């Protein structure tokens, strides 16, 4: 919308060709999309309004319709870990995502798209109708340094309270850095006790398959509140 219809810096044909080629030979275009597009998860009304319109249209189109098996369909944002499987079957997408890589999980922003900290994330989520979304989870990953003292823990508790006060239903955290996760991949026997939050459940990181491990690593590592 922004780059094609409003600013005219990209063409629809050019974008579709890039998606067909999985962005190969179109990295300059992908960088424009990735770095100059307003993304959901940054408390940006432009992006968040699009989220509201898309989800409302999805609800209006599907929710309450009769299914072939009898019961009616009910739409929510509950992906569990299906976003990894669906991503494997999905081609490249206009947000800069490559083909066959995970989609965003639950109500969480796309990996790496939330660039203004967790407070901006929860403010974007507050604009979503949490009843319609099924109260689906929001995943966040923090670096351990953020929670190294009482000040960080206090800020964390305020973040959670703020999210619920804004209408949020479910938020969960991993507190681990990428270096630790990479070491666990290389030396799993040394990290048998490393527990991570996957979706609506926890699991030992080294027991996850590579796709699930990489999905957790790809989650934005928040460095501050």
Report the chain (225 residues): mean pLDDT per 10 consecutive residues: 95 97 97 96 98 94 91 87 93 97 94 96 95 89 96 96 95 97 98 95 96 96 94
- The whole-number pLDDT of residue 45 equals 98
Cα pseudo-dihedral 129, 131, 137, 138, rounded to 10? 20
- The whole-number pLDDT of residue 102 equals 94
- The whole-number pLDDT of residue 44 equals 98
- The whole-number pLDDT of residue 181 equals 98
Cβ-contact 134, 204 below 8 angstroms: no
The Cα 123–Cα 109 span in angstroms is 12
pTM, two decimal places: 0.92
The Cα 217–Cα 221 span in angstroms is 8
- The whole-number pLDDT of residue 70 equals 85
Instruction: Name 124's bridge partners.
Output: none
CA angle 60, 64, 70 (to 5 degrees): 145
Q: How many CB atoms lie within 10 A of CB 77?
A: 21
- The whole-number pLDDT of residue 200 equals 84
- The whole-number pLDDT of residue 203 equals 97
* Residue 83: closest CA among 217, 220, 212: 212
- The whole-number pLDDT of residue 79 equals 84
* Residue 96: closest CA among 19, 201, 204, 1: 19
- The whole-number pLDDT of residue 41 equals 98
């Amino acid at each position: 919308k922004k780059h094609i219809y409003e600013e005219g810096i990209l063409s629809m044909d050019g974008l579709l060709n890039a998606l067909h080629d999985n962005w190969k030979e179109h990295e300059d275009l992908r960088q424009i999309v990735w770095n100059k597009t307003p993304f959901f998860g940054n408390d940006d009304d432009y992006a968040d309004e699009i989220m509201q319109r898309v989800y409302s249209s999805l609800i209006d189109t599907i929710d309450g319709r009769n299914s072939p098996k009898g019961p009616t369909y009910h739409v929510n944002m509950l992906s569990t870990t299906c976003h990894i499987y669906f991503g494997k079957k999905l081609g490249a997408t206009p947000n800069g995502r490559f083909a066959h890589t995970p989609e965003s999980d639950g109500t969480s922003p796309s990996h790496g798209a939330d660039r203004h900290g967790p407070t901006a994330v929860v403010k974007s989520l507050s604009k979503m109708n949490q009843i319609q979304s099924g109260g689906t989870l929001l995943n966040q990953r923090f670096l351990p340094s953020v929670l190294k003292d009482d000040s960080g823990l206090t800020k964390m508790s305020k973040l959670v309270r703020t999210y619920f006060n804004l209408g949020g239903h479910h938020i969960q955290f991993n507190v681990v850095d990428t270096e630790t996760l990479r070491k666990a991949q290389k030396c799993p026997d040394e990290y048998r006790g490393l527990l991570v939050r996957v979706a609506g459940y926890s699991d030992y990181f080294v027991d996850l398959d590579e796709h699930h491990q990489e999905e957790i690593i790809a989650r934005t590592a928040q460095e501050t509140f």
